[in-house]
Chains A and B, each alone.
Chain A
Amino acid sequence: MRNRWQGLAMVAPSIVLVIVFVYGLIGQNVATSFERVTQKTFAGNEKVVAQGGVANYADLLADPRYQHALWNLLVLTVVFVGGTMLFGVLWALLLEKGVSGEGFFRSVYLFPMAVSFIASGTVWKWLLSPGIGDHEAIGLNRLFLMVGLPGLQSRWWTDPGPFNMAAMALPAIWQLSGYVMALFLAGFRGISDDQREAARVDGASEWRVYRHVLFPQLSPIALSALIIIGHMSMKTFDLIYSIAGQNNYVADVPATLMWVQLFQQRNAPTAAANATILLLIVAVVVVPYLVYTNRTEGAKGR
């Protein structure tokens, strides 16, 4: 009995902190998102900044700029998740075969993760500079000129096309592929060699060993990698802020738009509505995953 109270006393502070600073603030945010705000303008008129109630959400969803930001987010997430998974698995496979100097390669691949998005964004801003042609190309475009491949020059994320945000995913892929590699490498190492031996004795080709023996066992790792990368992509702010600058329509995603809405348009309810929708989008991805892990782990426990 005494032990039980002791346990509760140990966790109580963190429970209280989580209730106040996570759920309390989410509640505050949702409450703000329904507020009505009017403001006197410099020209002397009374203007409605946010109508209040559900209309705040309706107005936000109807705003073409927000729709553009959502589309950008979709492009960014698809390329970011696809790219990191591809390179992560690829590097894990290469290392898993047992190269000499594995430790060195592991740190080379993992190192970018230690750099903050703001710092790497400053460098990538230069690498992804949109100038084309001999007189203004710098960064990657200059590299392409120097190696004699001028056709590869690109305007990167400033391209007017609908898929320009794919370029913005490049730094993100560079940064997080190593992390996915580490996850998969740990997964590969966790599978005992007996299983591969058994498959090889049965006459399975190397491809079939991976296809039917190793990969199926890695699906929980793939799922958690997907979730982690996916939710990171959805809340990306710092990378885009440091590369595109603030209030740059071309590179808008909901998180950067929220900054503009709150600090430049001084429209707290719309920014809060934007935040709430972002929370819901992330929840759509994360909640099923939590339910799934809860179930599988619960089954293991019994």
Chain B
Amino acid sequence: MRLKSLIAAGLAGMIALAGCASPGGQTAAPTGGGGATTPAAAGGGDVGVFTWWAEGSEKVGLEALQKVFKEKYPKNTFVNLAVAGGAGSNAKAKLAADLKNNNPPDSFQGHAGAELFDYIQAGQIEPVNDVMDGLGGAKVFPKNLLDLITVDGKIYSVPSNVHRSNVVWSNPTVLAKANIGAEAPASLDAWLADMQKLKDAGVQTPLAVGTAPWTQLHLFESVLLSELGTDGYVQLFSDGDWTSEKVKSAVDKFGKLLSFANTGGADDWPQATDMVIDGKAAYNVMGDWAVAQFTEKGKKEKTDYLYWPTPGTDGTFLFLADSFTLPKGAKNASGAKDWLNTVGSAEGQKAFNLAKGSIPARTDVSVSDFPAYQQSAMKSFQSDKIAPSIAHGAAAQQAWSSDITTALSKYVTDKDAAAFVTALGAAASKNR
């Protein structure tokens, strides 16, 4: 008897709880749905947008974009589904699980290029040609960028911004210790010679590099581009030879660069960039999102920091781009298209990129609205040759860049150059 009354009491409790919960749930739904007066069919409703922009300038950028979205499409309600974590790796794992379980967000962020290809192959995202045509298509987006997001004539995402990956950030005060001027070294060899000078002048760490494997890959792709040249580098991802003499010499120079670098004390890129800001290191190779770090610390261009393309890569824009997709089975596809239209609009791109520190993917956004660094990057993007970044998903799909990262993290530990080149060759034949 006692047991029965216990169960009865438990059931009653659960019903009471459910009773309490449901009114809250019911009131939450309409407010989340963009106002009770707006039916979802009329283009309103929740639009869940998945990104890894949860901190810093990225978060500010997303908020700026969100504001434009609200102005342009007041019927929709933006739902932020951002997942935090370095370079999106945690977010990608969560996203992969959600997509596999047929629970896609209404739109998600992806690196334009090979990384999106995984989703296209898995049939997880829809073409958005109509949205792109409405935005102006090839008239306002650069052709090489469109090529990267087009598969079999279909465009699968709307690019929001472009970043440059091959940038050296340096501290002129530290350079002055070894009487090195503000100009960029002409080649990797000249750069290495400068590092030796710095070391002789008592600078312990000429080059700052993070210990997170992706930051090392970020440095390595610049070195590869410098040694192989733009055409040779781009060819590596179609039919180039990863075990060629040029790759070997890139590995050799990468090893020499590492011998001038810190082996600890900086986990990820912000700490490595801070070493340059604080004068503990002379150089750091990082994407142009680093400019936000300098600005945030109140540093002034030319007096406090300098930047140039990685030596030997002048004239090439090693690029990566973020873009937004329309997943198959999105609950609010029309709202998602409104979002994509916002992302691709000149207005949205200006607001977003001013806040994030990147440059617009569209070419018709006024250059004069942007600060000095971004102006120079916008100019380079229009005039330079373009090459895709490995570390940021433009050049190789995730499986391949993961294999390259593994080989690289092994090399950083054991410094076995021959094994590294063999592993690079094996990764290419496995994933190409």
Contacts and interface: CB of A to CB of B under 8 A. Distances in A.
Interface of A: 6, 39-43, 45, 47, 49, 65, 125, 129-133, 135-138, 141, 155, 158-160, 245-250, 259-260, 263-267
B262 A245 contact: no
Contacts of A138: 264-265
Interface in B378-421: 396-400, 402-403, 405-407, 409-410, 413-415
A266 B117 CA distance: 12
Nearest to A247: B405
Nearest to B114: A42
Nearest to A157: B413
Contacts of A158: 211, 263-264, 413
B264 A267 contact: no
A130 B263 CA distance: 7
Interface stretch (B31-39, B89-97, B172-180): B89-97
Interface footprint category on B: 35 or more
Contacts of A39: 121
A248 B414 contact: no
Contact of A131 (B89, B121, B264, B414): B264
Given A40-B121, A248-B409, A47 B211 contact: no
A247 B264 contact: no
Nearest to B398: A264
19 contacts: A43-B239, A43-B432, A45-B432, A47-B432, A129-B265, A130-B264, A133-B204, A136-B265, A155-B263, A158-B264, A245-B86, A245-B267, A246-B213, A247-B213, A250-B409, A250-B410, A263-B96, A264-B402, A266-B399
B262 A160 contact: no
B102 interface: no
A132 B413 contact: no
Given A130-B263, A131-B264, A249 B413 contact: yes
Nearest to A131: B264
B399 A267 contact: yes
A249 B267 contact: no
A137 B413 CA distance: 18
Interface in B266-280: 267, 280
B212 interface: yes
A72 B89 CA distance: 24
Contact of A160 (B121, B239, B414): B414
A77 to B, nearest CB: 21
Contacts of A137: 264-265
B263 A65 contact: no
A245 B398 contact: no
A132 B432 contact: no
A135 B93 CA distance: 37
A259 B398 CA distance: 13
Contacts of B406: 65, 247, 249, 260
A259 B403 contact: no
Contacts of B92: 263
Given A42-B117, A43-B238, A265-B403, A136 B409 contact: no
Given A132-B264, A265-B399, A47 B430 contact: yes
B237 interface: yes
A267 B118 CA distance: 12
A118 to B, nearest CB: 12
Contacts of A264: 398-399, 402
A280 to B, nearest CB: 25
Contacts of B376: none
Given A41-B431, A47-B431, A245 B213 contact: yes
B310 interface: no
A136 B432 contact: no
B226 interface: no
A160 B400 CA distance: 24
Contacts of B237: 42-43
Given A41-B431, A125-B267, A130-B264, A249 B397 contact: no
B205 interface: yes
Contacts of A136: 204-205, 262-265
Interface in B234-256: 237-239
A136 B212 CA distance: 16
Highest count of chain A CB atoms <10 Å: which of B117, B211, B414: B211
Contacts of B262: 131, 136
Contacts of A6: 3
B118 to A, nearest CB: 6
Contacts of B402: 247, 260, 264-265
6 nearest CB pairs, A to B: A131-B264, A264-B402, A135-B204, A130-B264, A249-B410, A131-B265
Which of B3, B121, B265, B432 is the most central at the interface, judged by chain A CB atoms within 10 Å of its CB? Answer: B265
Contacts of A47: 430-432
B264 A249 contact: no
A41 B410 contact: no
A132 B265 CA distance: 9
B429 to A, nearest CB: 10
A260 B96 CA distance: 13
Contacts of B3: 6
Nearest to B405: A247
Contacts of A246: 89, 213
A296 B349 CA distance: 71
